[in-house]
Structure formats: structure tokens, C-alpha cells
Amino acid sequence: MNKFEHRVIDFTRANIVLTIAVLAAAVTSLFVPPDRQWLGYFDWKTLTCLFCVLAVVGALRNILFFTLLAQNIVRLFRTTRLSILALAYITFIGSMFIANDMALLTFLPLGYFVLSSTHNEKHLAFTFVIQNIAANLGGMLTPFGNPQNLYLYTKFHIGNLEFMRIMAPPFAVAVSLITLCCLCVKSTPLRVGASPIKKQPLRMAIYLVLFAISIIIVFRILPYYYGLVIIVATLLVMDRRALANMDYPLLLTFAAFFVFSGNMSRIDAVRECLGGLLNKNTLLVSAMSCQVISNVPSAILLSQFTDNYPDLLVGVNIGGTGTLIASLASLITFREYQRLCPGDLRHYLAVFAAFNVGFLALLLAFMMGF
């Protein structure tokens, strides 16, 4: 076996999700050959926001911003239980305002630094999973918290108060379950020594401004292509390493997944099957559909066959829990954990499956009996 083959095998092992996404896209391409409609599959705004946040978070990581922030969290909350609860709440609240994927890209590094700096890596899998659940479920309360919310909010012209009224019951249950899970963590004192970190206030201020620009893009206050130019130009001058060392396989994973979900929505057999099932139970079908083709494609596909937007809205939100592909945000969490703890993936997947399936079952049971 030559060096090139070794590199291909190593890359495949290090990027399992990307490999699966590419294979899935390739298989669906046999049924839907490439054509002009493929260009419409890609959510360029999402890809640009993802690129910008990855770049800025990398720059902040390079100046040890998250290490400093983690030290402050440890000093404030002092125990594993309260620190993990704080991380879950920060991610939960953040997803309401900056969307679930952006919240994870921002706060997963913080969770890692809190636990690694205090030698509590044993809680890392649970913390990442609970942050992932918090991001997926926290974003459901606002129209812009999750991508599928914004789509359905616009398509069905849902009023702001009506939207929050629909989502308030599952949101309240999600908050309660996440809090309960965090309170079950054994409470042990956390200590972190004073690290000789040289603060760089000017760079930190500039990078935080760049991060704010990334958030402004999400809210469509600034066109995403303007934000892309500003962030790339600034980092080319101040920190090219942040651009060079970005998680480009994650961007490719999203692109491949867009192709897969787009092709699935154009296969007649899939459309006919889902259309018939929706008439029986929109909530259950929409949640289960997410387990196979993810929540955003499910919202787009199923909205063509039903006017029952309250059940569809709830279904594609709580359906973000469950399988690894139920939400694109879950792929972000998996990729970050894979990067940080490549030898512990089986443990992570077991924890992920147990908690996500549990949350999905409990939320479905509550909403179907509500």
C-alpha cells in the first residue's frame, strides 16, 4: 500500500460523516442525475455563515479566548454540575438568537476548555451531547432559532405570538428535561490554576467584532457576501492560520448532505409515501422523517403536502433529536468531538443515542397526549 492510499484511508477514518454523506449523495444521484436544479439545493447563506463562524472561532481559539472564558466559568460556578448546567443553558439561550448550528460552533469549544482545563474529560461526551440537544431544542422557540422555523414561519405566514404559543409547550418540557439531566451529574469541586496567558485586547476586540458580523449575517442585517469579504480580508491580515486550519471537511459534509436531501425530495416514491402518511399523523410522520433526511429537508418536503403547520412545526423541531442525521447541528457536534477525542467515538455515539432517543420519545409522548 503506497503513501497516497494510506492518506486516503486516514482521511476517511478521520472524516466518517463526510464519507457517509458523500456516499449517500452519490447513491441518490443514481435516481436524480445532476441537473440545473442541483444548484438550488445549496443554502449558500448557511454555508457562508458556517465558514465565517468557523474562521472567527479559530482566530479566537488561537489567542486563547476560550481558555480565559473557561477559567471564569469555573471560578464562578465552581462545580462540575453547575458548570455543565451553565454550558447547557448558554447553548440553549444562544440558539434562540444566533441559530442552533452557530450556537454549537461558539459554545462547544467553551465546554471543551472548561472540562479539559480541570481534568474532567470523562464528562465531555455527556456535555457535548447535552449541549447538542440544548441547541436543537432551544432554537425552537423563535422563528430564527432553527433554519426550518424560518422556512415554515415564512411559508405559512405564522404570526409571532402564534408561533411562540405553538412552540411553548415542547420548549417548557425541553428546559425541564435538560435541567434534570444536568442536575444528575455528580457534583465535584472544580479548580483551575492561573495560566500565564498573555492577553491580546486589540486582537480580541477585533475578533469579537468579526463574530458580531457573523451573527448579523444570520439576521440578514448585512448581506452574507459582504460579511464573507470583511472576515476573510481581516483574517488574511491578522491570522491566516485561522483560515488555513479551518474544518473544511465539515463544510464539504454540509454540501454533500444538501445534495442528498435535495435528491430525496425529488424521488416520486419518497414524496408519494410521505404525502399519504401525513394525512394520518403529521406530528409523528414529520418527527420520524427527520430521522432519515434531517429536519430542514423534512420541513421543506412535507410542507408541500399538508396545511397542518402547527403539528409540522413541532414535529420537525423535536425531530431534531434522535439519529445523528436528524439535525445538521448534530453533525457539527460529532465532528467537533471526533476532532478532540478521536479514540472515544463509540462511547460518544452510545451516549448520543441514549439521550437523543430518550428526549425524542418523551417529547413525542408529551405532545401527542397534549
| Within a domain: 6 | no
Tell me the pLDDT band of 50, cut-offs 50, 70 and 90. confident
239: left (phi over 0), alpha (psi -120 to 50) or beta: beta
Q: Which of 111-125, 202-216, 348-362 has the highest mean pLDDT?
A: 348-362
Which band of pLDDT confidence, cut at 50, 70 and 90, is reported for residue 1?
Answer: low
Task: For residues 198-226, give the mean pLDDT.
Answer: 85
Residue pLDDT, tens place only, 251-270: 887 788 788 878 887 888 87
User: Mind listing the pLDDT tens digit for each residue in 140-192?
Assistant: 888 867 778 877 887 788 888 899 999 999 999 999 999 999 999 988 887 76
pLDDT average, residue stretch 78-100: 86
Asked if pLDDT for residue 193 goes beyond 60, the answer is no
pLDDT at 53 over 60: yes
Q: Is 208 within the bounds of a domain? A: yes
Half-sphere exposure of 167 (CA within 13 A, CB side): 30
Cell numbers that stand for 8 in this block: 486516503
Predicted confidence (pLDDT) at residue 8 exceeds the cutoff of 80: no
- Does 5 reside within a domain? no
C-alpha cell of 369?
397526549
Q: How confident is the model at residue 98 (pLDDT cuts 50, 70, 90)?
A: low
> Averaged over 126-139, what is the pLDDT?
93
Which domain covers residue 357, as residue numbers? 40-368
Q: Give the per-residue SS3 of the chain.
A: CCHHHHHHHHHHHHCHHHHHHHHHHHHHHCCCCCCHHHHHHCCHHHHHHHHHHHHHHHHHHHCCHHHHHHHHHHHHHCEHHHHHHHHHHHHHHHHHHHCHHHHHHHHHHHHHHHHHCCCCHHHHHHHHHHHHHHHHHHHHHCCCCCHHHHHHHHHCCCCHHHHHHHHHHHHHHHHHHHHHHHHCCCCCECCCCCCCCCCCHHHHHHHHHHHHHHHHHHCCCCCHHHHHHHHHHHHHHHCHHHHHCCCHHHHHHHHHHHHHHHHHCCCHHHHHHHHHHHCCCHHHHHHHHHHHHCHHHHHHHHCCCCCCHHHHHHHHHHCCCCCCCCCHHHHHHHHHHHHHCHHHHHHHHHHHHHHHHHHHHHHHHHHHCC
In a domain, 16, yes or no: no
Q: How confident is the model at residue 331 (pLDDT cuts 50, 70, 90)?
A: confident
Domain annotation covers residue 13: no
Residue 263 lies in a domain: yes
Q: What percent of the chain has pLDDT over 70?
A: 95
Q: Percentage of the chain with pLDDT > 90?
A: 36
Determine, yes or no, domain membership for 223. yes
- Is residue 240 very low, low, confident or very high in pLDDT (cuts 50, 70, 90)? very high
Q: Does residue 321 fall inside a structural domain?
A: yes
Domain count across the chain: 1
Of 18, 45, 23, 24, the closest CA to residue 264 belongs to 24
Query: What number is the average pLDDT over the span 124-152?
Result: 87
Region 77-101: what's the mean pLDDT? 85
Provide the pLDDT for residue 198: 75
